[in-house]
Structure 1
Amino acid sequence: MLLMKIGKAFVLLILLLAASVYSYVQMTQGTMKIPVLIGIIIVTLIVAFVVIFIPRISPICAPIYTVLQGILLGSISAYYTKRFSDSIALTAVLLTISILLAMLVLYTTRIVKVTKKFRAVVTVATLGILIMYFIVFLLGILGMNVPYIHQGGTISIIISTIVIIVAALDLLLDFDSIENGIQSGAPKYMEWYSAVGLMMTLVWLYLEILRLVSYIMKNKD
């Protein structure tokens, strides 16, 4: 039943990939301007908050949010490609898709069960990571760099790996939310709402994998 109901998530995934490829090509050709990207970032944040606080309009906002997110991902991927390697983006995409499929298998076969305790632990870990991101962001605004977080050394690799593991576990929570929504007879628009949540987790996972691969490449140089 879950596999049938995550169809909307796969539709969004296709939109995400298409928008990412388009943006990637535009960035590599130099036709995507920074002011445009800044505008897209602002609109993306607005749409994301609208989806979060007004789930009823998720069927309309979900595709819009996904396309905007895809444009940003493509731009970020182009930056990493230019700075590190032509293969870095493809490597991150393949790893992300592989983890997604692996988590889906683990969930559908019930090898890993999402219990209340499991959800609580993963949620706390996720909140901890978000707080870390926020602190690093604030310190960055103040012109202060946090040692070991983004320097690409061994500690950075370990931290990034832990974040990837937590993001992967968050996929299980997304699957569980979708399935619980089905079983409880939630409104149809909640399928789009849950699909957006899954996309957010995938984007987070991809960006962290991209960062980890860049750390590994940097250490090899």
Structure 2
Amino acid sequence: MKSSNPFFNNKTFSPTSRVYGAQEDVNVITHNETMTVKGTINKSMFLFAILVTSALLSGYLMLFEGVHPYALLLGGGITGFVIALIATFKPNYSGVLAPAYSLFEGLFIGGISIILELRYPGVALKAAGGTLVTFMVCFLLYRFGIVKVTEQFRSVVMASVLAIGTYYLLSWIVSFFTGSYFVGHSFEDSSLMSIGISVFIIVVASLNLFLNFDMIEQGAQRRLPKHMEWYSAMGLMIAVVWLYLEFLKLFAKISGRD
């Protein structure tokens, strides 16, 4: 019952979490105090709208108001990270924290998208399209039971995410001392090996979505508290942002080879 998304590895998703009427249909809201799949999907759509609107606002501020891109990158990225960290320990405040996360993370991805779009025209639209198509395909595959989340599937994805996180962490540490990143980490690295690493990470990020869908469904079946809809929707936004950034990196690398 663990997801490779650390946001879902919260004790509120544990098997001992409180259960409300688990025999009821979880696809409709039948209890005002319990988490449902439908409620989580609705909140996810709301958070996604905030994320996109904030990203567009970020682009406007940079292009027409002269706001420095790094102010948006650092301000949005750091604030979004802190909010996600707080929500991990205080999920009952997710109703406020989740919209705030989408707002600030939208500023971050909007800023980095504009920077790369000016350098490699078209990459932002390609990344957005790749993310949307991948998300929908994964959702449909899970919804119709074509892909099932088993313990072996979960273990492989978790191990892969842990390996990627370790690789990125070591690359950041090395960059502080040498000024250069490991192969595959930098947007400027357009080697075939670097592109291959990005493709692998995108595959893992996509597989991670299945684990997130499963956690949401399991949480609804156990009738977790209503605020977990916001918490779960926020977890999905984190996964979507990761997937988008990896697509953005991939298309920037490919454009760099032209």
Distance 2:141 2:72 in 1: 40
Q: Which runs of 4+ in 1 moved over 4 A?
A: none
Matched, 1:108 2:143: yes
TM-score between the two structures when normalised by the length of structure 2:
0.81
Give, in angstroms, the shift of residue 146 of structure 1: 3.7
Question: Counterparts in 2 of 1:26-175, with a 5 A limit?
Answer: 26-29=61-64, 31-33=66-68, 34-35=70-71, 37-85=73-121, 87-149=122-184, 150=186, 151-175=189-213
Amino acid at match of 1:58: S
Distance 1:192 1:81 in 2: 32
Structure 1 runs not aligned, ≥5 long: none
Amino acid at match of 1:45: F
196-205 vs 25-34, which deviates more? 25-34
Structure 2 runs not aligned, ≥5 long: 1-26, 28-36
Matched, 1:19 2:19: no
Amino acid at match of 2:50: L
Give, in angstroms, the shift of residue 5 of structure 1: 3.6
Give, in angstroms, the shift of residue 52 of structure 1: 1.0
Instruction: Kindly report the root-mean-square deviation, in angstroms, between the aligned alpha carbons of the 2 structures.
Output: 1.5
* Aligned partners of 2:61 and 2:67 also within 8 Å: yes
Give, in angstroms, the shift of residue 40 of structure 1: 3.2
Give, in angstroms, the shift of residue 122 of structure 1: 0.5
Give, in angstroms, the shift of residue 131 of structure 1: 0.7
Larger radius of gyration: 2
Secondary structure at the counterpart of residue 88 of structure 2: helix
* Aligned partners of 1:6 and 1:178 also within 8 Å: no
Secondary structure at the counterpart of residue 6 of structure 1: helix
Distance 1:109 1:80 in 2: 37
Deviations 1:113-158 (A, max 9, x none): 0112111111111111011111111111112424532311100110
**Structure-2 residue corresponding to 1:195:** 233
Matched, 1:10 2:48: no
